[in-house]
Structure 1
């Protein structure tokens, strides 16, 4: 397994308790939109066994063309050991990057794409949106819906500037408003749905979509160890 020690090159406060960390991009390190990686604190592998409390699976919120690796995360009032150490990082400090995967690659099948996310889940959607804006081949249009009760919508200014006749954002402030919007969107013929949020959010949205006769193969989630069928179990 190849590990890269990478330096923090910038830290951006996105909203209350939410930060984006930008890291240098290792030479030759490439990824697709919707990719995830592991970000670990230095020393996580110093013992006989890796300390899993110092490792997290993170969505990469940038594209390779941006020249840097970005992650966006929220800090709870009682952070884990991992988040506590992350909050202490300064520009120039290092973390360890390893493993790379992608379960949310943009499917170019001449079908609409609908992105459904909760809160900081928008981080996984940003590169998908940018990839589409860079090349609209075989994707007729994209609709992005993000629900965030804090009303501090991450990347809103950036993504709203990208809107055109083929790409539209919907920023909603409650689950009620979100599900009302979903009821409208589920009528979209032959759409592909991407879902990123908490386990319960994913499960609820998947069950609603399937209940409206959306086929499981047309639903993508960012949890690589779970199948859509498992979310349909009561």
Structure 2
């Protein structure tokens, strides 16, 4: 396993409590749109065993042709030790990046693509949108839907500049509005769904989309297969409790 020890080159305050961290891209570090990587704080691996609390699995919100690695994260009250230390980081500090992978690469099957994200989950969607804007082959239409109760939508200005006949954004400030969208969506063209958010958000959407006849294979989720299997086993009673 190759560990890339990279310096933070820029820190951008996106909206309140949310930052994007950028690092230079090593020449041999390769990833696709929708990829994730393990992000470790400096020193996490200096002892006999790694400090797991200093590692997170995070989406890469840039594409390789941007010549930088970026990830966006949000800090809330009573946040983790990882977030506390990360938000104390400054330009020039070291970040360790390793084990890139992807479960969210664009499928180009001549079917519409619908991106459904919650809050900072749109970080996974940003490179999908950029990749589509550069090459729309095999995807007749893309819609990006983001739900954020705060109303502070990440990347909104940049993504709204990309709106065209075959690409649109929908910014929603409540889950009920998302449910209305799912009810009213046209499923005749068999869209492919990419879903990113909290576990309750994923469970909610998986069950709602399945009720509309969407096959599980047409829902791409950045989770290991065993996690998705557990979501599918949730009973209606347990589902109500989780939500």
The verdict on a shared fold, with TM-score over 0.5 as the criterion, is yes
Q: How does 1:106-185 map to 2 (within 5 A)?
A: 106-185=106-185
Evaluate the alpha carbon distance shift between residue 147 and residue 188 of structure 1 in structure 2; reply closer, same or farther with a 3 A threshold: farther
Q: CA deviation at 1:185?
A: 2.1
SS in 2 for 1:82: helix
Q: CA deviation at 1:230?
A: 2.4
**TM-score, length basis structure 1:** 0.97
Aligned residues: 234
Task: Judge which range, 218-227 or 56-65, deviates more.
Answer: 218-227
Q: CA deviation at 1:210?
A: 0.6
Q: Is 2:211 the counterpart of 1:208?
A: no
Over aligned residue pairs, what C-alpha RMSD do you find? 1.1
Tell me, in whole angstroms, the C-alpha distance in 2 between the residues paired with 1:225 and 1:216.
Answer: 11
Tell me, in whole angstroms, the C-alpha distance in 2 between the residues paired with 1:43 and 1:196.
Answer: 30
Deviation sequence 1:141-194 (CA, Å, 0-9, x none)? 101100000000000000000000000000001011111112122535211000
SS in 2 for 1:38: strand
Tell me, in whole angstroms, the C-alpha distance in 1 between the residues paired with 2:189 and 2:208.
Answer: 16
What stretches of structure 1 move > 3 A for 4+ residues in a row?
A: 225-229
Q: Could you tell me which residue of structure 1 aligns to residue 219 of structure 2?
A: 219
Q: Could you tell me which residue of structure 2 aligns to residue 196 of structure 1?
A: 196
Deviation sequence 1:45-84 (CA, Å, 0-9, x none)? 1111111000000000000000000000000111211001
List alignment gaps of at least 5 residues for structure 2.
235-243
Evaluate the alpha carbon distance shift between residue 53 and residue 186 of structure 1 in structure 2; reply closer, same or farther with a 3 A threshold: farther
